[in-house]
Structure 1
Amino acid sequence: MAETPVGSEHVLTDDPAGTGGPGDGQEGVEGQGDDHGQELDADALRDELKAARAEAARYRVKARETAEALKTAKTPEEFQAVADKVTELETHLHRERLARKYNLPDGLAARISGTDEDARDADAKALAEMFHGKAGGVGRGGLDPSAKPMSTDPAELAASIPRGRR
């Protein structure tokens, strides 16, 4: 089957050369000379070839870009390891920030636990209450109420001084 142009359409015929011989049903078509039809057909083919080459070039560029992307791609296991490390570092940073917020020492910052930020915040608050809690006068800068008061009598103070032999 050959393709011969009729007006702006291409018509398939049984003539392999596309010469439009007698009995092909195209005798009455005007504006179709053998030379003129061949030139339009060649121009159309050139345009199609040009478009096909441009499309092939686009596909080659995409293939190169994809190959480059695949070279730098990581395996799912490597990606998961990096994601786990990021989660661990974010959790550690959040613990440090909570320790600074509630004035906790570094040793207690590592003990802050929880699966999400709210749970860790509640745990840090509880640790801060235990660490900074109101535990009476001992260790808070006052006198120890359990200590026995000293006498102010000079005779008793003199008797409490040990005397050694000389």
Structure 2
Amino acid sequence: MLPAIQRFDQVLRTAVRWTAGGLLLAVTVLAVVQVFARYVLNDSIVWGEEMIRLLYVWLVLVAATAAPHMRIGLLADAATGVLGFVLASVRVAIMIALLLLLVRGALTLNASFGGDRYVTLGITKSWYWSGAIVCGILWIVLLVTGLLSRREETVE
């Protein structure tokens, strides 16, 4: 069962990286086109700024789910075997608790402001808060699959 979890973890992380890359490409292309339209054609893409802001929020959240994060690994890197797995489990549990707060806050904000609409895009702002909800849950899944993959390495 654990090799299947490791494979799922790898596939999911690859999909997240490709998604983040696609969002970065979309933001970059839209920003360049918007600058070209404004300064060369003396016209503006009305919806461009709102779309860039929305895509950028999703980009940051998607990329954060699978990015290696800064940590002080003095004790965690020195601990191997079962102790290392226990320390990693505690770290993951704390991160999951914080991510659940993020998701809860995003759900609350979505309930309060999700019905508002972007002026030029015509879509609801629930797309904005949905990024934190979806990516928070995705991040939790990646934390758990990453921890289980490490458990497999600890057992061997």
TM tier relative to shorter chain: under 0.3
Larger relative contact order, structure 1 or 2 (CA cutoff 8 Å, min sep 6): 2
Q: Which structure is higher in helix share?
A: 2
Q: Which structure is higher in strand share?
A: 1
TM-score, normalising length from structure 2? 0.24
Larger Rg belongs to = 1
TM-score, normalising length from structure 1? 0.23
